Amino acid sequence: MATTSLRKNDQVKVLQGRDRGKTGRVLVVLPDLNKVVVEGIQMIKRHTRPNPQKNIKGGIVEKEAPIEISNVAIVCKSCSKQTRIGTNVIDASVKPRRVERTCRKCGNSLD
């Protein structure tokens, strides 16, 4: 299983692809596929059939598709720049030790 430092509700900027330069909020993290679903990014059209039992209307529905994690970068809340994620051990004496995510540019916490 692959690990990722991105979490739900993180603000990210797209680095590659047709939506390059756009920013959005992470809706779903898929660590097994190494992908994330970002709000308003990688929109696809899905043709759905009506299903009255599940109260689904038919037609063309636009929804977000997963995008590769390597194609997005987290945006720091304090300096509002795209950055890489660093780590900072808060208290090493306590087990399990607590680690927070930090901005590599300004050093502030991302959590």
Task: Give per-residue pLDDT as tens, 33-80.
Answer: 999 999 999 999 999 999 999 998 889 999 999 999 999 999 998 888
Report the Cα 83 to chain-centroid distance in Å.
14
SS3 string of 2-43? CCCCCCCCCEEEECCCCCCCCEEEEEEEECCCCEEEECCCCE
Q: Does domain 11-75 have CATH number 3.40.50.670?
A: no
pLDDT at 30 over 80: yes
Instruction: Sketch the domain layout of the chain as residue ranges.
Output: 11-75, 84-111
pLDDT of 63 reads 92
Structure pTM?
0.81
Task: Determine the pLDDT at residue 71.
Answer: 94
Tokens of 14: 């797209």
Highest mean pLDDT among 22-31, 79-88, 94-103: 22-31
The CB density around residue 108, as the number of other CB atoms within 10 Å, is 12
pLDDT digits (tens, 9 = 90+) for 95-111: 777 888 898 888 888 87
